[in-house]
Structure 1
């Protein structure tokens, strides 16, 4: 049996609402987890938002779209600094997760263990 990665353990904790796990909107969490590319990223629910990161430890990548909302409706926001801030609104959680995937960079995922930036990057 292989040991869980930090990403797998974090998703499991959130989905199973384990003690110490961050809490998020269940419908949004489940919709995001159903998307294989999002499931490979580090999930971070906070303050009504579900963000995704390319790495597992602070400082976070903070360069990917994220979802704000609940089962009644979601908004997908582009990462800070993008020219277009709202990518979609009045979406179901499933539509929001699909839209995030559509706006992920081609080189995105799976998340690596450690802090941002990636080891060996020019800013390292």
Structure 2
């Protein structure tokens, strides 16, 4: 079963859109090292998967409440831009990497 179909079957809030954005981000080598973390309809990314190791992830980009359009933000950097497609949103993430990524 595809990730989006699994999300729909489980009733996740914004599930298919969240997984679509995570899949597009995975297509970008610089973002592939991050772990997608959907929370309250907002796809975020973490530096480590569960168990979370306590590193500060507030500099990582996230999509504001799914989309489309995908409004990309960073807690520290504010608005990064808007992508009409998941691929455009992932490109925005690559264009605004935090230090060390």
For the aligned pair, the TM-score class normalised by the smaller chain equals: 0.5 to 0.7
Residue 46 (structure 1) aligns with: 39
TM-score (norm 1): 0.57
| Match in the other structure for 2:73 | 77
Q: What TM-score, normalized by structure 2, do the two folds share?
A: 0.67
Contact 1:76 1:87 in 2 (8 A): yes
Select the structure of larger CA radius of gyration: 1
Cα gap change, 1:102 to 1:17, in 2 (>3 Å): same
Q: Among residues 82, 87, 91, which one is paired with 1:89 in the alignment?
A: 82
Instruction: List runs of 5+ in structure 2 lacking aligned partners.
Output: none
Gaps of 5+ in 1: 1-13, 109-124
Question: Is contact 2:73-2:81 (8 Å) kept?
Answer: yes
SS at 2:31's partner residue? helix
Answering whether residue 30 of structure 2 is matched by residue 61 of structure 1, we say no
The aligned length equals 91
Deviations 1:42-99 (A, max 9, x none): 11111221111222233353221112323x3100001x233xx111125321111011
Provide the alpha-carbon RMSD of the alignment: 2.9
SS in 2 for 1:39: coil
- What is the 5 A alignment of 1:108-123? 108=101
Asked if the contact 1:15/1:29 (under 8 Å) is kept, the reply is no
Residues of 2 paired with 1:93 and 1:105: CA distance?
A: 20
